[in-house]
Chains A and B, each alone.
Chain A
């Protein structure tokens, strides 16, 4: 059997030491009527065979290595330098457990401390946790933090319609037992001013996305002021890669900044695993969910790192804990720490600018096509919506069949007002030639 090292002699010697005659005898406590089911599973195959099978399955997909990709909507096709995966493949990192024993876990602990530092410096926030599952669950945990901050006495959450639909759905799933009122996202037209109008003394949090689901960027300083005036918290959900160029949300006086770190060195992998960022102002550190690594010293005065403030967490506080989270996505946090270190100050800015300029070039070209209307009005980052002359599904089928292009996201799925609107993402992976091919394809499909 693969990965089980026992010889028959060893098995017999071990059974004798335990004092039983057979392996079956180890299970006397299991009810006999349901013991040893005959599982309907396929027979085992070898490594050689399983890789043939997986190769075939993987090749039954289209992927961004073999097809030009303009699809984003929360998962993005970015360049990942080779160094990232080489570090992730270190067995010392990926086969370690959560660093509960700091003396033999300094590698993981220091890497997480550096991740926390990089994310704090990128967002401008005071404290980052060791990671959350993804952007959606980080946003849901932000709502729980805000709820607890108000000791359960406030019941309204204002959500921007520009937050990723999956994230808003996840917040609703998490909060369904809490009797809360989630408002603001039903009308697509609810801009910052409209959201500010919904704030009142029962509001625990207002959440926005930056850049939003449609790629739009704006300054949320006024919304933050309005939220603070009624005692509500401002939560900004970010694409961290955009912060290579854009003003950090701490400058809007955000109380909580969450986001999805997939763009920072993590492959799309059909949507997961990704990386949830979770950062707060210092005053909320004791209310935040998840693990935190802090610096300290050992008995010899050497610097070292430990998990800290664990009195917030489930294994100590049980039902009084800030969250039930324990396993997070530490290895993905490592990926983004390596990515940010390798790209550095200049690299991240360059990537963000490449995305920005290419997306603006694409928007200008597409906006000039007959039959297409750019939906975005103000500033945007690397994603924009465009109204198509035909249903998005038809446009995408044409782009794929005729041009080998994976087209944009059909916004009509989530926003009835945006029927026939496509969300297009452009990254540093898209050359001018690819953008021109997309434009040509869109032009052609309008006339088919």
Chain B
């Protein structure tokens, strides 16, 4: 099996799907000749040619709309948004068209479209290159929103997203694109639709740390430290942000009685609020403490000198865990 980073695994998933299905096309800014600014599409031009991997004008509304037209004709376009904040010009296309097309055609035409969004901070990037906009898309009917945390998931979840008959927002935690390698089975079976299935990354009894994307490693590190203090923390990687794996969340919290939800996006009306509400509505009698949130501040993502003042990290996850443990 290959030892791959997350971004290499995404490349591997794209390549496999393009090999398997000639309807899969990739488009975006600088994706073909340079292989994308993060090199996620490296080598695809040489293999598949300019009719399958397309450098577009700097025109997010234009090329997301273009991809919607492609999907309407039966292609399976995978759009790369170069950086998180660059998706905002395409918001109208995603909300009013990608999410609504199946409904608007009486259920007949789903758009098999994937919008890949490298997102989040911690990369010492310039202004407008570090947002975490996932909650905006979770609020939009008709979309699915997923976020891998590991190289193996980066490959298999992208493949499932490409095969899914509905539009999928594929959030890529770019801070951990090259954080490490793991064995990725490039022959593993692939789901034909996005599975709203969370992954239990660490088993524990006293506390559930709920996270996704780049915060899963923080939670695993925090769980390690808690173990040294005799606290057994479970780590649940959501993977699918819409739909949520409600059963996995509730099952875990009913066992541990405590939950901390961690994300980098601003806390107000974020995924943490949704998960917390779910737990309080359905499992309150099993709780030993109110659900805690460890999230980004409700501010503009800062310039790089203040990144560490904004980002969740292991210490902040531990602080959240202690609040839950000492309630």
**A and B: bona fide binding partners:** no
B interface with A by C-beta (< 8 Å):
none
Q: Which residues of A contact B (CB under 8 A)?
A: none
